[in-house]
Amino acid sequence: MAKKKKSTRKKAPIKSAPKHKLPLGFWSQVGAVALIAVSLLFVVAWFDAGGPVLSWLYQSALDTIGYAVYVVPLIFIYVAVEIFRAENNLLPFAMKFATVSSIVWFAALFGLLKNKNGVTTGGFVGDIVNKGVSMLVNGGVAAFIYVLLIIITILFIIRVSPFTVIKKLWQMSRRDISEQEENVKVMRNAATMGDFKLHASVPTLDINQPTESKQSRLSSLKSSVARDVAAEDRAALVTVSDPNWEAPSLDLLEKKQSPADAGDVNQNAQIIKDTLGEFSIDVEMEGANIGPKVTQYTCVHQVVSN
């Protein structure tokens, strides 16, 4: 009996369907967007403008965590931003736990209060926490503990050390004192410039004289004569070709020299001294030479030998 020959044909490989790959951190980013969306919906629900579904959601949150519902949008938006900024859009578990803890502390703090109907404003969560804490301390101490826990939790979430906050508060309290010390220093430096000499080679303006009179004279001079634009344009065209045109007389020029305006010389000298002092150059201002255009200040450099 003849044997059947085996077929040598190879079966074609079955092509598998292409896999749908998501970018890294896709679902974390979706969660961040969801947190922002929930925060906005909460804000809309505060004004009773989102329909029955949002009203039910708002009331459920209010029954659960009380007035802490007004803090939730801020916390959720900050956590969403941190998710976008984190590496691979992943937050550590400690960050998520601190977020939930902060909401619990707010609910417990609001649970110490009561509305006009005599009902606590901390919701179900706040009542549970306060039942346990009230057996240990009174309401005032409990409020202090809740505030302290809220501050620590928030500093943990935003990654700021308590020492940095204390340092900033200390600098703010010392700012007013430092400004007063600087003013006293400036007054002392100004007092040491009693021998400041002023040399004016040209007439100078008195800085104490009000400048309103000069400005008023100029403004009155400008407004005294009406300007004829058309006549000026015609005159500009014919002056060059007019054989009878004569150049203006030199008598029109001002014969009297205008006094030089050197400004507040003492203040300028003090500014120069303070500026050099910032570069550790200790000088004593001796005087100033006022010229027509430039005022020259003289000073002596004091060398301190060790």
- Smallest CA-to-CA distance from 201 within 289, 88, 84 is with 289
- Confidence band for 138, pLDDT divided at 50, 70 and 90: very high
- Residues 278 and 137: their CA atoms lie apart, in Å, by 57
- Residues 202 and 298: their CA atoms lie apart, in Å, by 18
> Regarding beta strands 197-200 and 295-301, do their DSSP bridges make them parallel or antiparallel, or are they unpaired?
unpaired
Mean pLDDT of 246-258: 71
pLDDT at 202 over 80: no
Q: What is the number of other CB atoms lying within 10 angstroms of the CB of residue 183?
A: 10
CB 40 within 8 A of CB 3: no
CB 109 within 8 A of CB 153: no
Query: What is the pTM assigned to this prediction?
Result: 0.52
pLDDT 10s digits, 168-177: 888 887 766 6
pLDDT 10s digits, 54-82: 889 989 999 999 999 999 999 999 999 99
pLDDT at 37 over 70: yes
Tokens 């006293």 found at: 184
- Confidence band for 275, pLDDT divided at 50, 70 and 90: confident
- Residues 33 and 28: their CA atoms lie apart, in Å, by 9
pLDDT 10s digits, 103-112: 999 999 999 9
Q: What is the number of other CB atoms lying within 10 angstroms of the CB of residue 136?
A: 9
Mean pLDDT of 5-27: 71
The residue among 166 and 212 whose pLDDT is bigger is 166
Rg (the chain; Cα; Å): 41
Expressed in angstroms, the distance from the first to the final Cα of the chain is 123
CB 41 within 8 A of CB 56: no
Highest mean pLDDT among 145-154, 158-167, 215-224: 145-154
pLDDT at 220 over 60: no
Cα-Cα-Cα-Cα torsion 171, 172, 174, 177, nearest 10 degrees, comes to: 150
- Smallest CA-to-CA distance from 68 within 127, 153, 126, 154 is with 126
Tokens describing residue 233:
């344009």
pLDDT of residue 79: 92
pLDDT of residue 80: 92
CB 64 within 8 A of CB 125: yes
- Residues 157 and 234: their CA atoms lie apart, in Å, by 77
pLDDT of residue 206: 58
How far is residue 157 from each of residues 84, 109, 284, measured CA to CA in Å?
Answer: 15, 19, 54
SS3 (DSSP) at 185: helix
The residue among 1 and 142 whose pLDDT is bigger is 142
pLDDT at 131 over 80: yes
pLDDT at 155 over 50: yes
- Confidence band for 221, pLDDT divided at 50, 70 and 90: very low
pLDDT at 269 over 60: yes
% of the chain beyond a pLDDT of 70: 67
Amino acid at 306: N
Q: Mean of the per-residue pLDDT values for the chain?
A: 78
pLDDT at 245 over 80: no
Q: How long is the chain?
A: 306
pLDDT of residue 109: 93
DSSP single-letter state for residue 293 = S
